[in-house]
Amino acid sequence: MKRVGVVGARGYVGSELLPMIERHPGLELAWVTSTSQVGESVQSAPSLRYVAANPALFETSPVDVVMLALPNGQSEAWVARAGNTLVVDLSTDHRFDASWAYAQPERFRERIVGARRVSCPGCYATAAQLAIAPLIDLVVSAHAFGVSGYSGAGTARTERNDPEVLRDNLLPYALVGHAHERELSHHLGQPIRFMPHVAPFFRGLTVTASMELSRPLARSEAEARYADAYAHAPFVEWLSEPPHPRDSVGTHGVRIGGLSLSEDGRHAVVVGALDNLLGGAASQALRATNLALGLDEAAGLHAG
């Protein structure tokens, strides 16, 4: 059994991680941190109590894996003390660092296997990259229109997770320079424009990727590209119709589909959808942990 520490477990993503680790046949929770509930029982693991978030835990209670579910900019104190512990960071802090494995198994599996430092993609970036990647060599320009449930805004109250503000509403935000726009552009190797929005539902996410192509593309070739790209990707489902975000809630992968082509074959549109807390965060982090440790990629994801 590999011992796991989870930092920042009281957030939405941390709360999804804990039950998966608890049922994992090869992992066991060693400690779970919280800034507000120190000493209280961990709901998904009643035998454990939350402890204060202190990197000295690496010395007082060593672990094989630490999963950082922290706000952006708060990982470095933990990374500095981690030594040879496998670090899985769910924040943006290391997504542009070439010395860290980027935890998108469908595209970078070989880098994740055996890695000691793993940086998890953002939820929007996961759906958009997988929707665009099979055509990227033909893309002249691409725009991704994203809509997420308000859990993506975190637990700290803002207008973007206030149900009253969102009622019968759709909030655009960070329409230029969003962190996921930079992440998409970096990992796809060319500029991708991204426009995020928050909707009144709690969880789930959809991205519509519109791509101008360098040459005409036949539907048969486009479909073959997606089929080939994800032929060995058990967590990607290719659909003939656009996926709906509600159908991805509670699932661990990404649904991609609704391929549309202009009459001249130079404009393609593809839709991606996932559960922003699972397939776009916690599940992807656990899959990467499994690969880094040499375990079954799907271990712990499913109950029973």
AA letter at 54:
N
| Tokens of residue 116, six digits | 């000691």
Map residue 17 onto helix, strand or coil: helix
Measured between alpha carbons, how far is 18 from 31 in angstroms, rounded to an integer? Answer: 11
Pair type for strands 45-49 and 193-198:
unpaired
Q: How far apart are the first and last CA of the chain?
A: 18
Return the CA Rg of the chain: 19
Measured between alpha carbons, how far is 197 from 201 in angstroms, rounded to an integer? Answer: 12
Mark 25-49 as b/e (b = at least 16 C-beta within 10 Å): eebebbbbbbeebeeeebebbeebe
Q: Is residue 197 packed enough to be buried (19+ CB in 10 Å), middle (13-18) or exposed (0-12)? A: middle
210 DSSP β-pair partners: 143, 269
Query: Are 287 and 278 spatial neighbours (Cβ–Cβ below 8 Å)?
Result: no
Catalytic (active site) residue 120 = no
Query: Are 222 and 268 spatial neighbours (Cβ–Cβ below 8 Å)?
Result: yes
Task: Find the catalytic residue in 82, 101, 123, 293.
Answer: 123
Cα 231 to Cα 92, 104, 106, 289, distances in angstroms = 29, 15, 10, 22
AA letter at 7:
V
Query: Are 155 and 12 spatial neighbours (Cβ–Cβ below 8 Å)?
Result: yes
Residues carrying an active site annotation = 123
